[in-house]
Amino acid sequence: MTEASPADEIYDEPMADEDLVQRPQATSRRDHVRVAVVRIMRADDVHDLAEAVVDAHRKVVLELVPGAEVEHVGATAVPGALTKGDVDVLVRVGEAEFPAAVEALSCRYAIHQPHNWTPTLASFTDPDAGELPVGIQLVVRGSNTDKFFGPFRDALIGSDALLAEYNELKHHLDGLEYERYTEQKGQFVERVLRELSSRSAAGPGARSYGTVFDEVAEDYDRHRPSYPDVLVDRACESAGLGAGSRVLEIGCGTGQLTRSLLARGLRVTAVEPGRQLLARAREQLEGLGDVRFVNAGLEDASLPAARYAAVFSASAIHWVDPDVSWRRVADALDDGGSLALLSYFGLEDPRSAADQQALHAAITRIAPEVAADWPAYRDLDSTIAGVAARRHNVSEVWGWLGSYALARSYAADLFEDVEIATVPALLEHSADELNSLLGTMSFWARLSARQRNDLAAANQALQKRLCRPICSSMVACLVVARRKAALASCGR
């Protein structure tokens, strides 16, 4: 059977600017033949309805195919996207379960585009769909087909620039005949997936750069800032923690956050894969409280289930495989336990804008491959509003804040009540201080010796030109989410 591109199969998507409103699909007359054309609406306008539709079909699918993983994909799953107004439901099963799943779903749903079916893909529609048409995409977990739906959704969620490009395309596709719409959208999707594939295949994987911190453990401890006490207190208050509460910390590094947790009387299990980082944490935290160290990544750590009242992670969870991280965190938490994520993010601020633009210009000139992946800077109001728009899924929130590819739809089934607290700050660094700080960041490992020297020299030249310290703006963010008490419906 010929392998069809999943880009031809996806049953939904978005696009439009301010004058686009929700409209039904229409037809045009050409040579007396009725031809379907595509009309676009805002996904946010149908978000609540789409989520309700997905929840309803999740229950149906799990009754037919117990143990399947059911996700919301397509444009209606992407905040801020534009859509044709239909809903895509992704059903993931093992290779051995696929034939039986096809048979079971065929009893409830109508077969869709059988000419595109493959040994790893089968598509269905709901003949009884209401206001929003529904497509069911059944795939074999881990297959090439499986690498299409979720990754494309997550790429849009994780990149404002990519989403804007996607929406611009949708704007131009509004009113096109359906076949032309499908062809041009498919080309865009395949291009994005090729870029994602090339990026992951080029050199060490992105998450492997997390190991560089272990090589600069001493500098990391000396130059990285600690986290504001007000945010740590807020996290403890939100989680209902008190002296003696058991907590898990993911990626403790040299122990900056661990020290704060111990100071509040918490009993800490600290997971850290870096041997040098962990050795420094042991040395510095000895005698300060009840702490147990685990020298492993979260993926490999042996942890008890439902043991902890809270899980903390400071600037670390993005180094963990997101296909397992959110579930491992949920498994470690008591019912109703809290996840608390802390990190610093760049902040758009008029007081530091000129200096930050000069710094970014230097990186773009010296290391364009690094600048291409540089996280987005937003002002404080936009940061808070963006979190509010994504608060139904903590993985989307954290991925968006840091421009990380972390968003996973399954996390929405595990956590709720997402909140954010922020502490903005205007910072001043000498060029030497700034270069020392940059040397502890993961992107530094991607630079050649010449690029490092050139960037350090550019920062020295900038300070000399300014005749003052270099200004930058950061915001310390705390994101808290609560573990849902009942996880039976998550397909576990």
Q: In the chain, what are the domain boundaries? A: 6-201, 210-490
pLDDT reported for residue 25: 40
Look up residue 174 and give its two tokens.
């509004």
CB atoms near residue 282 (< 10 Å): 16
Give the span between the Cα atoms of 203 and 198, in whole angstroms.
10
- Neighbour-count burial of 486, counting CB atoms closer than 10 A to its CB (0-12 exposed, 13-18 middle, 19+ buried): exposed
CATH architecture of 6-201: 2-Layer Sandwich (3.30)
Q: In sequence order, what E strands does 222-280 have?
A: 246-250, 267-271
Give the span between the Cα atoms of 153 and 96, in whole angstroms.
26
pLDDT reported for residue 21: 33
Which three-class secondary structure state does DSSP give residue 148?
helix
According to CATH, the topology of domain 210-490 is Rossmann fold (3.40.50)
The two most distant CA atoms of the chain are separated, in Å, by: 85
Give the span between the Cα atoms of 370 and 364, in whole angstroms.
7
Q: In sequence order, what E strands does 359-486 have?
A: 415-429, 470-483
Q: Encode burial over 291-307: b for 16+ CB neighbours within 10 A, e otherwise.
A: bebbbebbeebebeeee
Four-residue CA torsion sign, 467, 465, 435, 424? positive
Element (H, E) at 436: helix 431-438
Q: What is the pTM of this model?
A: 0.62
pLDDT reported for residue 13: 36
Q: Do domains 6-201 and 210-490 have the same CATH topology?
A: no
Give the span between the Cα atoms of 21 and 24, in whole angstroms.
10
Task: With CA atoms as reference, report the closest residue to 480 among 153, 303, 224, 233.
Answer: 233
Give the span between the Cα atoms of 325 and 397, in whole angstroms.
15
Give the span between the Cα atoms of 359 and 356, in whole angstroms.
5
pLDDT reported for residue 192: 78
Give the span between the Cα atoms of 275 and 253, in whole angstroms.
10
Give the span between the Cα atoms of 257 and 31, in whole angstroms.
70
Each residue's pLDDT, cut to its tens digit, for the chain (492 residues) gives 334 445 444 443 333 333 333 333 443 333 333 345 557 788 888 888 998 999 999 999 999 999 898 888 988 888 888 888 889 999 999 899 999 999 999 999 999 999 989 999 999 999 988 888 999 999 998 888 887 888 888 788 767 778 888 888 877 767 666 677 677 777 888 887 776 665 544 444 444 545 567 677 777 778 888 899 999 999 999 999 999 999 999 999 989 999 999 999 999 999 998 888 888 899 999 999 999 999 888 988 888 888 999 999 999 999 898 988 999 999 999 989 999 999 999 999 999 999 999 999 999 999 998 888 888 899 999 999 999 999 999 999 999 999 888 899 899 999 999 999 999 999 999 999 999 999 888 788 788 899 999 999 999 999 999 999 999 999 999 999 999 986 444 444
pLDDT reported for residue 155: 80
